[in-house]
Structure 1
């Protein structure tokens, strides 16, 4: 069992996070419950900031809020000096409501609507990461209507395929994201952006995938961006003040995952950019990155209550919890794997191998296959580790289940940062047409 951050087993044999007993958390806030180790989030932020400061390059670290976007986490990353990436009007609204400085917000997305672009322009955000020619034209026109110039990074697909799941690989040429480098679309995008009177070209952006455990992909992407900068300079006289290498830095979910220290990822990126730009005699650009999962992933733990148990002799034993794919769809989407313990009996020796099932009416609603645990009883608290990224963000109301609460823990204090949804929340947006409204019974019918 690998424990992350401040997580430990206390003298009562129960799991503790941020100095708070998880049994107390389950009792106080109910389950399912997302628990976030705030100290670990801050530590991860500082690791990125410190590594870049040590490199001596101009830089910007932006938290990719798609990993986990609530007002409290936005406040934390701002306090730690990070910028912020958003990919929708909802994430942008959350950031603005949290008081995040608009100038430090970058707006991503492959299909930004006119309403989203208007929202970003009117808020005065720092830049748009432009994804296609339609967006170049739309952003230029809408900025022109406001009499301003919008800053733009062009998202480039560099043709680098990281070793990760096919659904979260984004740097290869066949991708819905960005301008293709090999096919010439990226060069044409630079020309179009420079020609647009209401756009200011900041530079280029690439993102090669997620959950990456090696540096070679980042190094190759950095080299390709530098070579592209040389081409843009020589043929168009255009410079790139910013080169953004995206995110995708891996974390440890289970035994066998081998993420590198943050400093190694940063060193590989900065060394590659410095070397390549220097070799071509180009000024060193500001190097931007966008960690998301690597900031919050292993800082999150989900607490569940065990319910029914189904033993099929000679096949397997199912242990069902009061959550599932509604609060963690990643096993169903990506075959994602997790580790877990009985939080209320964390010191007990394993006695059986079980499979953790969710409560949704889907046979594919399985959280963990073949987990070694002590003898499991109804009412036990199961703690699933590393659920800080893309769990709350992807949570749904399938089967009309209510989305869980979120609590931050730090220095022995637990604070609610997202309330559990109520039944009233579930139906708050329902509208029943007048013709379907229930009428008083007539003659007993």
Structure 2
């Protein structure tokens, strides 16, 4: 009688674990570089003698340049080894962040942020193209779950540390810290990441402009871009006014906000991998719908609150971020399956640009909806919440058709060759 094997099948090889880890840390540096500037506003404006409008230009300069560079790079994104593309743009991002650390006046900082955005705005799309190339759709939710931890990690570790360094010593130090961490990540990529060039086997005869045009005009891709636009609309509308709403409407003091962000971020880091695993086990669209329902219910409640105890605000924030994370992880995994292999780089670049630009527009529109009364309270925040809920419902509708397309595409794909099962001695160490 044959004894059952006691060796547990590993999901990821040791090399795949390395790829997940290095891309997570890479995303951490990119997100932190973007997010750390907002809390530094209170320090930067008096230090550089700039107005709120000028500071807003510094923040938006990154997003606008990132969105435009993504569109310009899209036509070339599938013509090169993705590792080389990643290193080229990451080197530019590190140089731009170093320029931020050296800036001594408003114009130097503005130019440095624009330069950083030109390179940093493309890196996310290249990273997601690499994930799509290297990981099967069946496990891609787990991968996205780990990579999305970078958002929570920047909130838990990066922003408090960066703000502490700026407040204690100098506002340049957070950018110095990002440069140091980025250099370490870059060296690891150079030394250990293998070439990612399987897409080059699919010969592309189109020139860059034709490749870009055919990518943005293909109907299935256009639906994905529309879904990304609505996803960004929901997220960017509430986020910029969150701290002002917490203080002026919910009655929290500014001193407890770091604790609120810390607790929310820790829970987000803990739930990310679990949500990723759930998307692979029960279905990406199902998790997206569940996350959308949870987010909508909590947004409707939260945006109409008055003075609220800290513990209740924290609980709502944790649950709301769980819903948002479910939407982000599930949608990222599902949308990654839409493009054909020869279009992945261009598709991801355009998708990233759409996200950046639509997020900037959403923030502007939200500023037109919400007004601040003389006593400091934000009015029409509840109306803003209903706009977010409406965008969420439309996204669920669009994602249904994308899910149907991905399922049909998977069903019509030729069967993959059988892989010979490795012996217990050949199984590389991995994470579950």
TM range (shorter): under 0.3
Q: Pick the structure with greater CA Rg.
A: 1
The TM-score, its normalising length taken from structure 2, stands at 0.18
Bigger fraction of residues in strand? 1
The TM-score, its normalising length taken from structure 1, stands at 0.18
Give the number of the structure with larger relative contact order, counting CA–CA contacts within 8 Å between residues 6 or more apart. 2
